[in-house]
Amino acid sequence: MRSAETIDTVVVIGGGISGLSSAFYLQKLARESGQTIDVVLVEAEDHLGGKINTLQKEGFVIEKGPDSFLSRKLAIIDLAHDLSIEDELVATNPNASKTYIMNKLQLHAMPPGLVLGIPTDIIRFLQSDLVSPEGKLAALADLLKGATPAERDESLGGFLARRIGKELVAKIAEPLLAGIYAGDLYKLSLNATFPQFAQSEKEFGSVILGSRHNKRVTEAQNQGKTPATFMTFRNGLSTMVDALEKALSSITIKLNSKVDRFEKSEQGYTVHLQNGEQLQAQGVIVTTPAFVSDKLLRTHINSEGLANIRYVSVANVVMAFDKSNFGVDFDGSGFLVPRSEGLHITACTWTSNKWLHSSPEDKVLLRCYVGHSEDQQSVKLDDESLIAAVREDIRKTVGLTAEPLFTEITRLNNSMPQYPIGHVDAIRDMRIELSEKLPGIWVTGAAFDGVGLPDCIRQGKAGAQIMLDYLEDVAVKKQ
Amino acid at 393: D
Are β-strands 332-336 and 345-349 bridged in parallel, bridged antiparallel, or unpaired? antiparallel
β-pair partners for 319: 366, 407
CA distance 452 to 85: 19
CA distance 306 to 291: 7
CA distances in angstroms from 471 to 51, 356, 385, 467, listed in the order given: 31, 46, 53, 6
β-pair partners for 155: 189
CA distance 363 to 374: 34
Amino acid at 39: V
Write down the pLDDT at residue 226. Answer: 57
CA distance 93 to 84: 23
CA distance 234 to 64: 15
What are the φ and ψ backbone dihedral angles of 417, each rounded to 5 degrees? Answer: -70, 140
CA distances in angstroms from 123 to 84, 113, 234, listed in the order given: 44, 10, 37
Write down the pLDDT at residue 222. Answer: 67
Which of these, 418, 429, 431, 447, lies nearest to 155 by C-alpha position? Answer: 418
β-pair partners for 89: 233
Beta strands, E only, 192-331: 230-233, 252-254, 259-264, 269-273, 278-281, 283-286, 310-322
Query: Residues, the chain, total?
Result: 479
β-pair partners for 101: 108, 336
| C-alpha torsion 321→326→332→334, nearest 10 | -50
Q: What is the pLDDT of residues 345-367, one digit of tens each?
A: 999 999 999 999 999 999 999 99
Mean pLDDT by groups of 10 residues along the chain of 479 residues: 69 98 98 94 97 97 94 93 97 90 92 90 92 95 91 95 95 87 94 95 95 84 67 96 97 97 93 97 97 97 96 97 93 92 95 95 97 93 97 95 97 96 97 97 96 96 97 87
- Helix axes 156-164 and 207-221, enclosed angle (nearest 10): 100
CA distance 106 to 130: 10
Q: Are 14 and 43 in contact (CB under 8 A)?
A: yes
Residue 151 neighbours by CB under 8 Å, 6+ apart: none
β-pair partners for 372: 375
Could you give the 3-state DSSP secondary structure of residue 388?
Answer: helix
- Helix axes 453-478 and 75-82, enclosed angle (nearest 10): 70
CA distance 469 to 479: 16
The domains located in the chain, with CATH, are 8-50+236-309+420-478 (3.50.50.60), 110-221 (1.10.3110.10), 310-418 (3.90.660.20)
Please report, in angstroms and rounded to a whole number, the separation of the first and last CA atoms in the chain: 10
CA distance 442 to 286: 6
Write down the pLDDT at residue 97. Answer: 83
* Angle at 271 (CA atoms; ends 265, 274), nearest 5 degrees: 140
DSSP string across 49-95: STT--EEEETTEEEESS---EETT-THHHHHHHHTT-GGGEEEPPGG
Buried b (16+ CB within 10 A) or exposed e, 19-30: bbbbbbbbbebb
CA distances in angstroms from 390 to 164, 355, 369, 386, 393, listed in the order given: 32, 22, 9, 6, 5
β-pair partners for 252: 40
CA distance 124 to 362: 36
Which of these, 104, 89, 49, lies nearest to 248 by C-alpha position? Answer: 49
Q: Are 336 and 180 in contact (CB under 8 A)?
A: no
Write down the pLDDT at residue 5. Answer: 57
Residue 360: left if φ>0, alpha if ψ -120 to 50, beta else—which one? Answer: beta
